[in-house]
Amino acid sequence: MAVIQAPPLARPEPVGRRLLVWLTTTDHKKIGILYLINSLGFLVVGGILALLMRTELARPGTQFLSLHAYNQVFTEHGTLMIFLFIFPTLAGFGNYFVPLQIGALDMAFPRVNALSFWLLPAGGLTILSGFLVKGGAAAAGWTSFAPLSVQGRSGQDLWILGLAIVGTSSILGGINFIVTILRMRAPGMTMLRMPAFTWSVLATSLLVVLATPVLTAGLIMLFADRHLGTVFFDASRGGSALLWQNVFWFFGHPEVYMLILVAWGIVSEVLPVFSGKPLYGYRGVVLAFLLITALSFTVWAHHMFVTGAVELPFFSVTTEIISIPTGVLFFNWLATLWKGKLRFEPPMLFALGFIAMFLIGGIDGVWMASPAMDFAIHDTYWVVAHIHYVLFGGTVFGIMAGLYYWFPKMSGRFLSRKLGIWQFWIQVVGFNLTFFPMHILGLRGMPRRIADYPPNQGWTGLNTLATIGSYVIGIAIVLFFLNVFLSLRKPKDAPADAWGSGNSLEWATSSPPPAHNFDTLPEVRSGRPVYDQRASRQGLVRGESPA
């Protein structure tokens, strides 16, 4: 049951008491904020690791990271960014806004929700603590392919344990979201009136609940191989190294969609609000989410084309088919913008940046779905470019759109528009400077996951460029934190409908919302209850745009 907070006291409570409230809270809004704080902390750690790598790669030769240290750094960078930054950030948005968007008081299982959160720092620090043990952190890549991962030292065990904890956290969270969305909706909030963001969380949760346990099974087999003397991944004794790849990617590809679906949801919220139009083809968007959810279980072996052990045509075709619902999303986003009254506030800029960058990443993906192309670029920097155009150009731009969009709701204060616009442009430039050259590096044959490269391959200039770009990204992220810091010192001045053109129910309550979420819940008669409220207040007919 939710803890019902006492009404705010006239005097501020002592720090110790306030800290205790945050540590023991079961309020989905506080838990959502904890998720975001934790995730942004891991973003800083993962970002520093990325800068270490880029600094090492700026010039040929090994300057300050040993080969083994480099392996640890890229392994931890990938693992932390995926499992401890991107996914939990999206889960944090889900925690805060799904109950608000469906007009609920809290999540279905508030205490399980708190557990899901607290498992995260535990798992993350377990993974990270590998740097403190003898032999260093896990060094087999975020994919930890066997048999390399069977051979690693104790850092690899911490990686396995930490990931199992984080996986448990996501499964519990996923179950909680599904039950919340299916059972806690306000009167009138039918499934097909739910905001696209809530749909994206539902689709992601289905993926989490069905795919993450497969990773857990793989982790148990890996752990048994390392310590109990089993031979699951030992081909010389009847096992199969490819078994790990199959198990990992059966989880791993749905995982990629877990990392992007909610960003699609955020963009599908932001674009209508700053275009003054409803989301174009809402049902098409929902259907696309669900199709992608289903299809994502059929494409895993496209990561394994070069093994020679998979049915190439099948996985090539399914991979290309999954780009069709993705294309539907692009069409609907562009059609939402079409003839809209566009307002270029920071959330809108990041959403537009998302569309442009994710398009490049998506097209990269369709190319690689062709085995002939994949054979040429597998395990090269092309793949690094692709994943970063999808997860950084896509998801991180989407996350930034979400942070700027919902910050006023969560804190009662707007992030600075000016700093936001600066951050956006610096981030776009830095991002493309870093990752676009990687396409060319990949085509020139530079393999991924190497600490050093020969000077005579024509890779040096592009690597230096990418390193400069990575520092520019660093500046953009610092600007973001500066913006948060400065904005939190301002007085709370955000109205309930912070952007003046909100559609979904979170804009019907004060900013920030009271502990019980809504003093009065507007009647839900369409997919845009707050728009309806605004329209009826202004005496407008449906379809007209309120000022």
Q: Tell which one of 55, 129, 154, 216 touches other proteins (CB under 8 A).
A: 216
Question: In sequence order, what are the residues at sequence separation of 6 or more whose Cβ sits closer than 8 angstroms to the Cβ of residue 188?
Answer: 523, 524, 525, 529
CA–CA separation, 58 vs 464, rounded Å?
4
- By CB under 8 A, the residues from 236 to 295 that bind other proteins are 237-240, 243, 246-247, 250
Q: Tell which one of 183, 341, 418, 492 touches other proteins (CB under 8 A).
A: 183
Residue 85 to residues 231, 342, 443: CA-CA distances in angstroms?
Answer: 33, 31, 30
Residue 30 to residues 2, 293, 400, 509: CA-CA distances in angstroms?
Answer: 12, 29, 20, 16
- 115 forms part of the interface with other proteins (CB under 8 A): no
- By CB under 8 A, the residues from 357 to 416 that bind other proteins are none
Taking the least distance from each CB to other proteins, the nearer of 239 and 272 is 239
Taking the C-alpha atoms of 445, 446, 447 and 448 in order, what is their torsion angle to the nearest 10 degrees? -140
DSSP per residue, 229-252: ---TT-GGGT--HHHHHHHHHHHH
Q: Tell which one of 6, 10, 228, 547 touches other proteins (CB under 8 A).
A: 228
Taking the least distance from each CB to other proteins, the nearer of 240 and 323 is 240
Helix (H) / strand (E) element for 469: namely helix 460-488
Q: Tell which one of 128, 158, 211, 260 touches other proteins (CB under 8 A).
A: 211
Strands (E), 398-542: none
> In the complex, what is the shortest distance from the CB of residue 318 to other proteins, in angstroms, rounded to a whole number?
18
Task: Say how many Å lie between the first and final Cα of the chain, rounded.
Answer: 41
Taking the least distance from each CB to other proteins, the nearer of 48 and 192 is 192
Q: Is 61 exposed, middle or buried (0-12, 13-18, 19+ CB in 10 A)?
A: exposed
- 487 forms part of the interface with other proteins (CB under 8 A): no
* Rounded-to-5 percentages of helix, strand, coil across the chain: 70, 0, 30
- 105 forms part of the interface with other proteins (CB under 8 A): yes
Segment interacting with other proteins, rule: CB under 8 A, options 169-177, 355-363, 407-415, 422-430: 169-177
- 125 forms part of the interface with other proteins (CB under 8 A): no
Q: Tell which one of 57, 171, 263, 441 touches other proteins (CB under 8 A).
A: 171
- 231 forms part of the interface with other proteins (CB under 8 A): yes
Taking the least distance from each CB to other proteins, the nearer of 12 and 229 is 229
Segment interacting with other proteins, rule: CB under 8 A, options 120-128, 203-211, 401-409, 477-485: 203-211
- 6 forms part of the interface with other proteins (CB under 8 A): no
CA–CA separation, 238 vs 89, rounded Å?
41
> In the complex, what is the shortest distance from the CB of residue 231 to other proteins, in angstroms, rounded to a whole number?
5
CA–CA separation, 315 vs 295, rounded Å?
11
Segment interacting with other proteins, rule: CB under 8 A, options 9-17, 171-179, 410-418, 450-458: 171-179
Q: Tell which one of 41, 141, 213, 340 touches other proteins (CB under 8 A).
A: 213
445 and 526 in contact (C-beta within 8 Å)? no
Q: Tell which one of 109, 358, 406, 436 touches other proteins (CB under 8 A).
A: 109
- 176 forms part of the interface with other proteins (CB under 8 A): yes
Taking the least distance from each CB to other proteins, the nearer of 105 and 376 is 105
Q: Tell which one of 69, 122, 209, 373 touches other proteins (CB under 8 A).
A: 209
Segment interacting with other proteins, rule: CB under 8 A, options 104-112, 269-277, 285-293, 451-459: 104-112
Query: Which amino acid type is present at position 83?
Result: F
Q: Hey, how many other C-beta atoms are within 10 angstroms of the C-beta on 544?
A: 10
CA–CA separation, 134 vs 130, rounded Å?
8
419 and 400 in contact (C-beta within 8 Å)? no
Query: Which phi and psi angles does 447 have, rounded to 5°?
Result: -75, 155
Which tokens belong to 520? 């009065």
Binding site for other proteins (CB under 8 A): 1-2, 4, 105-106, 108-109, 112, 171, 174-176, 178-179, 182-187, 209-214, 216-218, 220-221, 224-225, 228-232, 237-240, 243, 246-247, 250, 516
